[in-house]
Chain A
Amino acid sequence: MAEALLAEEAGAVKAPASGAHPFWRRLRARRAALVAAVVVALLVLIALAAPLLAGIEGQDPTTYHPDLVDSATGGVPLGSFGGISAEHWLGVEPLTGRDLFARVVHGARVSLGVALAATLLQVIIGVGVGLVAGLGNRFVDQALSRVTDVVVALPVMVIALGALAVVPTGFPRPVLIAVIIGLVGWSGISKIVRAQTLALKSLDHVSAARLSGWGSWQIAKRELLPALAAPVITYAVLLFPADIVVEAALSFLGVGIKPPTPSWGQMLSDADTWYQAAPTYLLIPALLLFVTVLALTVLGEGVRTALDPRAESRLRIGTGRKKEADA
Chain B
Amino acid sequence: MRQPSVISRRVAAAAAVLVVAAGAAACGPQDSKDSDGNSGAAGTPRKGGTLTVLNSKPQEDFDPARLYTSGGGNVPSLVFRTLTTRNREDGAAGAKVVPDLATDLGTPSKNATVWTYTLKDGLKYEDGTAITSADIKYGIERSFAAELSGGAPYLRDWLIGGADYQGPYKDKKGLDSIETPDAKTIVFHLNKPEGEFPFLATQTQTTPVPKAKDKGTKYEEHPISSGPYKVVRNEGDGERLVLERNPHWSAATDEERKAYPDRIDVRSGLDSAVINQRLSASQGADAAAVTTDTNLGPAELAKVTGDKKLAARVGTGHFGYTNYIAFNPKVKPFDNPKVRQAISYAVDRSSVVNAAGGSSLAEPATTFLPDQKAFGYTPYDHFPAGKSGNAAKAEELLKEAGYPKGLTVTLTHSNDKDFATSPEIATALQEALKRAGITVKLQGLESNDYSDTVYNVKSEPGFFLGGWGADWPSGGPFFAPIFDGRQIVKAGYNFNSAQLNDPAVNKEIDEINQLTDLSAAAKRWGALDEKVGEQALTVPLFHPVYKRLYGEAVKNVVISDWTGVLDISQVAVK
Contact = CB atoms under 8 A, between A and B. Distances in A.
Interface of B is mostly: helix
Contact of A74 (B357, B417, B427, B446): B357
B432 to A, nearest CB: 8
A66 B348 contact: yes
A64 B428 CA distance: 7
B446 A164 contact: yes
B300 A71 contact: no
Interface in B349-404: 350-351, 353-355, 357-361, 388
Contacts of A275: 299
A266 B432 CA distance: 23
Contacts of B430: 62, 260
B302 interface: yes
Interface of A is mostly: loop
A277 B302 contact: yes
A279 to B, nearest CB: 11
Nearest to A266: B423
A161 B449 CA distance: 11
B359 A71 contact: yes
Given A95-B358, A169-B445, A74 B302 contact: yes
Nearest to B449: A165
Contacts of A72: 305, 358-360
A75 B443 CA distance: 25
A71 B357 CA distance: 8
B179 to A, nearest CB: 49
A176 B33 CA distance: 53
Contacts of B358: 69-75, 95
Contacts of B354: 64, 66, 69, 71, 75, 95-97
Interface in A261-313: 270, 273-278
Interface in B402-450: 415, 417, 423-424, 427-428, 430-432, 442-446, 449
B355 A95 contact: yes
B351 A66 contact: yes
A188 interface: no
B303 interface: yes
Nearest to B443: A169
A75 B302 contact: yes
B480 interface: no
B299 A71 contact: no
Given A63-B431, A74-B358, A254-B417, A260 B442 contact: yes
Interface residues of A, number: 32
A63 B417 CA distance: 20
B284 interface: no
B297 interface: yes
B23 to A, nearest CB: 18
B43 interface: no
Interface string A58-83: 00001110100111111110000000
B301 interface: yes
A75 B362 CA distance: 11
Interface string A233-245: 0000000000000
A74 B350 contact: no
A259 interface: yes
Contacts of B357: 74-75, 95
Interface of B: 273, 296-303, 305-306, 348, 350-351, 353-355, 357-361, 388, 415, 417, 423-424, 427-428, 430-432, 442-446, 449
Interface of A: 62-64, 66, 69-76, 94-97, 161, 164-165, 169-170, 254, 258-260, 270, 273-278
| Closest 4 A/B residue pairs (Cβ) | A277-B302, A74-B298, A74-B301, A74-B302
Given A95-B355, A161-B446, A274-B302, 15 more contacts: A64-B427, A71-B350, A71-B353, A72-B305, A73-B306, A74-B298, A74-B301, A74-B302, A75-B302, A75-B358, A96-B354, A259-B424, A259-B444, A260-B442, A273-B297
